[in-house]
Amino acid sequence: MEHGAINGDGVSMMLDAGNWDENVEMYKGNIMELKISLTRFTTCVLLTLSMAAAADVGSAEGSAEGHQHQAQPIQHQAQHQHGTSDIMVSGQIQGVDDVTLSYVAARHHDRRLRPALLIVNGRTETWLKYTDIIQDFYHQGFNVYSYDHRGQGLSGRMQTDSTKGYVADFSNYTNDLNRIYQQVVSEHESGPVLVLTHSMGGAVLIRYLEQYPNPFRAAALVSPMVQPNTGLPFGPSCLVARAQRWLASIAGSESYYMPSQGPWKPKSFEGNRLTHSRQHYNAFVTLEMENPQIRLGGVTSGWLAAVCDAEPELMGQTNRISTPLMIVQAGADSVVSNDAQDAFCKERNAHNETVCVGGKPVVVPGAYHEILFETPEKRQLGLTAITDFFNQELRSPVRPQEPQGGGMTDEYGKSGSVPVDQTDMAEPMPH
């Protein structure tokens, strides 16, 4: 192992006032040598551990996740089985620390009271990926909203290297979600609001529900990142991430990539752990190739350390959640921990039987991480479970935390009910 040389007097050397400039330069030189030495030492330790920290959440999700329609320019009209559509309107608001958040809305311009659906996506994703799903639910009678998390998609980036997966604090995600709900969704909706999340979006929603009053009728969490699969036990992974975050802070540098992580690059379908659908996988690669601004690479120590910091609260404050949840679990998921999802449901149902409906996750056998972008039979199993759950909860009485006026109109036959026909949730058009 090669170490950078450190001056014999170390950093405690005394400065001679008579040679101030010379001593200051010498002091700076010693500090820089110390930083280099610490960087090399820590890098060697990390590589010796052979850690693939966050490789499953970073490289896997960061490589190329499925997208349901042929890529279009950012100012686009999505192609869909219903034809060319201009139903989606995009916009921006300011998130925490004035980071720009990009969102999209597909609203019906009539006076009927409708249910709304808020889609909270996963790490590396963008609402552009979900345009077909947005339109599917729109044509089922929903007003639909989605947005991009800070640091990814069309939202603002926080690092000079814009492809780094980074967040300073996990609470920034939850506070951003609150701003999207308050400034975009609730401004237009007086009916019931449901939530559909994927992967990291599930963790963001769980923390949101633990911190804020629960305004949602129900939420379906698809492959939620209750705990990422880092390739090593979660505890040691967090130890390394925090050490590397500390090292970056004393070096005065931006967050380092975790070992095995790096800048964005396209990856082939073979060997991926996201989906069995070549069509979905390759479509998102195309979207990223044609829209460089949405690309996101691997995770940094800052991102993983922030996840580690939030995890105890995520698992330890479930008694604050009153919103009915359904977890849809991918049977062959290696990106996030299914054991952690099982433990969450067990803990949650010890407090409130309406959360984790059925007492445990609904499993889609053999599915990889991205159930909503899987092959038709696996995707349909997930969609059927989700729409059945939404229909059941829309027929339920309004909960105390939910805004009044949340019942449905006679347009759907009975108060509180909106039929969702998952058979109309079509596969994307060939491209």
> What pTM value is reported for the model?
0.77
If asked whether residues 32 and 120 sit together in one domain, one would say no
Q: How far apart are the first and last CA of the chain?
A: 51
If asked whether residues 44 and 91 sit together in one domain, one would say no
If asked whether residues 24 and 157 sit together in one domain, one would say no
Tell me, yes or no, whether 430 lies in a domain. no
If asked whether residues 41 and 107 sit together in one domain, one would say no
Counting Cβ atoms within 10 Å, is residue 98 exposed (0-12), middle (13-18) or buried (19+)?
exposed
Q: What is the pLDDT of residue 85?
A: 53
Q: What is the pLDDT of residue 231?
A: 75
If asked whether residues 168 and 31 sit together in one domain, one would say no
Question: Residue 29 sits in which domain range?
Answer: 20-48
If asked whether residues 30 and 130 sit together in one domain, one would say no
If asked whether residues 95 and 209 sit together in one domain, one would say yes
If asked whether residues 63 and 180 sit together in one domain, one would say yes
Domain with residue 375: its CATH number is 3.40.50.1820
If asked whether residues 27 and 103 sit together in one domain, one would say no
If asked whether residues 89 and 25 sit together in one domain, one would say no
pLDDT tens over the chain, length 431 residues = 433 332 333 322 232 334 434 443 444 444 444 443 444 444 344 333 333 333 334 444 443 333 332 222 333 333 333 333 579 999 999 999 999 999 999 999 887 889 999 999 999 999 999 999 999 999 999 999 999 999 999 999 999 999 999 999 999 999 999 999 999 999 999 999 999 999 999 999 999 999 998 899 999 999 999 999 877 788 888 999 999 999 999 999 999 999 888 999 988 999 999 999 999 999 999 999 999 999 999 999 999 999 999 998 888 888 888 899 999 999 999 999 999 999 998 877 776 666 688 889 999 999 999 999 999 999 999 999 999 999 999 998 766 566 544 333 333 333 333 445 444 444 432 32
Cβ neighbours, 10 Å, residue 338: 20
Helices (H), 252-298: 278-290
Beta carbons within 8 Å of 96's beta carbon, 6+ residues apart: 150, 172, 175, 176, 179
If asked whether residues 60 and 36 sit together in one domain, one would say no
One-letter identity of residue 148? D
If asked whether residues 80 and 145 sit together in one domain, one would say yes
The residue length of the chain stands at: 431
The DSSP-derived string for 161-196 is STTSB--S-THHHHHHHHHHIIIIITTT--S-EEEE
Q: What is the pLDDT of residue 230?
A: 79
